[in-house]
Structure 1
Amino acid sequence: MARGKSGRIVLEVDPKLKKDLYLELARREQTLKDWFVAEANNLAYNGAQTDLFKDSNPNAKDEKKV
């Protein structure tokens, strides 16, 4: 896969995954870019991935799941 020198990252994902991801990000009041940059920084600089099921946005609405 080609890697350019720009700051762009282009991905092709399953349409259902894209829809579900945007729904969850909207619930968290977070943009895809903000979420990706936070996850990428954590992986690149801390060598670890965050728990994708944990709400990583402190501004998100507090909802209890039953």
Structure 2
Amino acid sequence: MSIGSSGRIVVEIDPDLKKDLYSALVKEGLSLKEWFLRGATSYLEHSSQLQLDLPERETEDQLPIQDVKKNRSQ
């Protein structure tokens, strides 16, 4: 993949997908550039955040009823 120094991005996609995308964007009142910039900005903001791999915590609705009663009485 070559990356030039200009601000231009060229992507080849299926012509039917292109037509559908433009139709959807017109309905939203967006240009392809506006849509792309929003998506790219959002992607970059979220990709720079660290993912926390926390263990899943059991909630009362996941426990058998006898364990819920036991937990509440303690």
**TM-score normalized with structure 2 length:** 0.61
Structure 1: 4+ residue segments shifted above 4 A: none
Higher relative contact order (CA closer than 8 Å, sequence separation 6+): 1
Percent identity between the two aligned chains? 46
Q: Give the gaps of 5 or more residues in structure 1.
A: 49-66
Q: Give the gaps of 5 or more residues in structure 2.
A: 49-74
State the AA in 2 paired with 1:36.
F
**TM-score normalized with structure 1 length:** 0.68
Name the CA distance, whole Å, in 2 between partners of 1:47 and 1:36. 16
**2:47 is the alignment partner of 1:47:** yes
Give the C-alpha shift of residue 44 in structure 1.
Answer: 1.2
